[in-house]
Amino acid sequence: MRALHIFAFAIAIFLSVNALPYDKPNVYTIPLKSKSITRRRLSRRAIGSMPVNQEEPDIAYFGQITFGTGTPQNFDIQFDTGSGDLFVFGKNCDSPACKDKPKYDSGLDTSFKPIDGKDFKVKYADGTEATGDSATTSIVIAGVEVLVQDFGVVSEISDDFKEHPYVGIMGMTFSNTSQNE
């Protein structure tokens, strides 16, 4: 009999808890619009592939980029994930690092356009500095063409750059990290 009283008491407590005042939480709804991802939309992305070379294990990665139209010029350019600028050695570069290396000749490029009044200057964390002129041209990387690309035509660069097999750097971060915006 005592067990029945305990059981009845427990049921009374459970029922009274449900009878207590209860504030319903506010429910907010946000109207959503469905938007499908179509195959056409995905196909707009340019896809290409290219061989990537390595300077010693994990020192730097570089590949060939074609600059310009008319007489396209191919250069090995380092891919830098920590900067936002693109540059290549120009034909007027007389720094020791430019000696005996291929150089970009704007006279052979029919899509070359200088950016008047805008010098190119970049300094990297390791102390490497490059200066020159800013310009635009078309580039091709991995078979994908960019019709108007800002870049630096370097006329001076730090001597420590002469040890590298490439003749420029392509920064791959967002453009707001560029030192030449």
**DSSP assignment of the chain, as one string?**
-HHHHHHHHHHHHHHHHHHS--PPPP------------HHHHHTS-------EEETTTTEEEEEEEE-SBS-EEEEEEEETT---EEEEBTT--SGGGTTS--B-GGGBTT-EEEEEEEEEEE-TTS-EEEEEEEEEEEEETTEEEEEEEEEEEEEE-GGGGGSS-SEEEE-S-GGG-TT-
For residues 149-170, average pLDDT: 92
The per-residue pLDDT for 23 is 65
% of the chain with per-residue pLDDT over 70: 79
Structural fold of domain 50-177:
Cathepsin D, subunit A; domain 1 (2.40.70)
For residues 148-153, average pLDDT: 95
The per-residue pLDDT for 111 is 95
Lowest mean pLDDT among 36-50, 65-79, 123-137: 36-50
Residue-wise pLDDT for 107-146, tens only, equals 999 999 999 989 999 998 888 899 999 999 999 998 889 9
Mean pLDDT rounded to a whole number for the chain: 84
For residues 157-173, average pLDDT: 90
Of 53 and 154, which is predicted with more confidence? 154
Of 6 and 20, which is predicted with more confidence? 6
Distance CA 154, CA 135 (A): 11
Residue 24 clears pLDDT 90, i.e. is over it: no
Residue 1 clears pLDDT 50, i.e. is over it: yes
Residue ranges covered by each domain of the chain: 50-177
